[in-house]
Structure 1
Amino acid sequence: MDTTPPNTSNAGLIWANSKPTNPETLTPDAFSKWYNDVHIPDVLKTGAVTEAYRYEAIDPIEDKYHLAIYSVEDMDGLGEKLKPVPQDPAIFQNAHFDTRFYKLVQRYESKDSGKDQPSIVLSTEMTPGDVEDYDRWYRGEHLQDGSKVRGWRRTERYELLQALRVDDAPRFLVLFFLDGDEVPMEDMQKAGGSEWTKKVVGGMKQFRSAGFRRAAHHVAKI
């Protein structure tokens, strides 16, 4: 059911997709260790975010293998709040980061959504050809269809506020959270099989979807 809180008009998230670009200088293991032990704690210290999750791509050939998602209660002034976060040249000169700020549009979740974060997230970025029809489709059909997928826990919809390093970032982001070890592809195909879905997806100007497994969880210290 739709559980978008009425008092969270400024809520949103930081979405950061990344990869090492010079593995001889910055190995994947060293990059992950820096993310977990240094960078995410530094972000949490600013007080701008309440918690952070780090994921790794299910498909090993996925271009940007790492995904970090930071929960934000108030998106106002977020850039200023994050300025104290160190930008270590040894990392940022040897890795590519696609970092974006999104505001929450809608949260649709099961009764079990409040327990620990699901093990899988499907991250879908899109720019629809018809924004109004896209919104009607999600609210009128696709959220309900997605909730029938085995292991589904929650769907979150966001709209782009700012992309820090990409000029043509898609306007909308949908995070589809699942429990389980694998994405149930047969269920996913059924959820995307309606004529309305084919019409909306077929009219997309931009569309990219990738699956990620949870690798780490961090919570801000109050």
Structure 2
Amino acid sequence: MNGRHPEAVRLTLTTCADRRREAEFNIWYDRTHIPDVLAGGVATHGTRFANADPESANPAYLALYELSGLDLEQIQHRFADLVQRLHRDGRMLGDLQIVRRSMWRRLGGKFTTDRTGRARTAGVFIIESSCSASDRERDFNEWYERIHIPDLLGTGLFHSAHRFQAMAGQSGGKYLAMYETDGDPLAAVNEFSRSHRPHLKAAGRLSEIIDITWRGIYRGLSQT
């Protein structure tokens, strides 16, 4: 997010229903839809990404909206009202297929390096998770913020990180961690798995109570 640490975010995973109209779909999303959403006042910034992991079954696209405010239920209603109006005004595209929407409020501090705000964001690595031991939730959060995120940033593969908690009543994992890289996101994740994760595991710096419910590797497309 290029040095920004928003109070909350909304993630929208999408695909284009007609692959023959993929180019038109992307032009509409970048030049019409995200500007419409930002003009509607429900988000401060919008960034689009494409799935960078050819071996995953993840949706082709991710739209990341940065939000101002922590009343996620109210923001969700404002999004719904805006989309209804855009439909009425003929500014939506029939080929848009929404696979999943989720909203998250920021958790913990701002996880930065000396490159935060200077390095561009070429891609993101996203981990959605829960704690598998309900009586160790505090330990889990302390490990994530004091050990795990600093360890990942310490590899030099990622320049910024964010942690969020799911909106109440939302399906899926309870927590979301997002890591920004200025390089190829798939290469960064593979390098971490190959060269760093084994050493962290041997040193006892990984957690046995993390339940990963979803992960995504996405490369940047556009930002507004």
Partner of 1:186: 191
Partner of 1:45: 39
Q: Which amino acid aligns with 1:183?
A: A
Q: Paired residue for 1:211, among 186, 193, 217? A: 217
Q: Please say if residues 172 and 213 of structure 2, whose CA atoms lie closer than 8 Å, have aligned partners that are also in contact.
A: no
Q: 1:116 to 1:179 in 2, by over 3 A?
A: closer
- Secondary structure of the equivalent of 2:188? coil
* Runs (5+) with no aligned partner, structure 2: none
The within-5 A match list for 1:68-83 is 68-76=63-71, 77-82=74-79, 83=81
Q: 1:134 to 1:153 in 2, by over 3 A?
A: same
Q: 1:18 to 1:72 in 2, by over 3 A?
A: same
Q: Please say if residues 4 and 108 of structure 1, whose CA atoms lie closer than 8 Å, have aligned partners that are also in contact.
A: no
Q: Which amino acid aligns with 2:188?
A: V
Q: What percentage of aligned pairs have identical amino acids?
A: 17
Q: Paired residue for 2:82, among 78, 81, 84? A: 84
After TM superposition, the runs of 4+ consecutive aligned structure 1 residues lying more than 3 A away are 21-24, 186-189
- Secondary structure of the equivalent of 1:90? coil
Q: In structure 2, what is the Cα distance between the partners aligned to 1:58 and 1:210?
A: 8
Per-residue Cα deviation, 1:137-184 (whole angstroms, up to 9, x for no partner):
112311221112233211100011167xxx632111110111113315
Q: Paired residue for 2:122, among 85, 96, 119? A: 119
- Secondary structure of the equivalent of 1:132? helix
Q: Paired residue for 1:23, among 16, 19, 23? A: 19
Q: 1:148 to 1:52 in 2, by over 3 A?
A: same
Q: Please say if residues 148 and 191 of structure 1, whose CA atoms lie closer than 8 Å, have aligned partners that are also in contact.
A: no
* Runs (5+) with no aligned partner, structure 1: none
Q: TM-score, normalised by structure 2?
A: 0.79
Q: 1:117 to 1:69 in 2, by over 3 A?
A: farther
Q: Please say if residues 166 and 173 of structure 2, whose CA atoms lie closer than 8 Å, have aligned partners that are also in contact.
A: yes
Q: In structure 2, what is the Cα distance between the partners aligned to 1:109 and 1:136?
A: 17
What is the aligned length?
202
Per-residue Cα deviation, 1:110-136 (whole angstroms, up to 9, x for no partner):
122123641120011112213222202
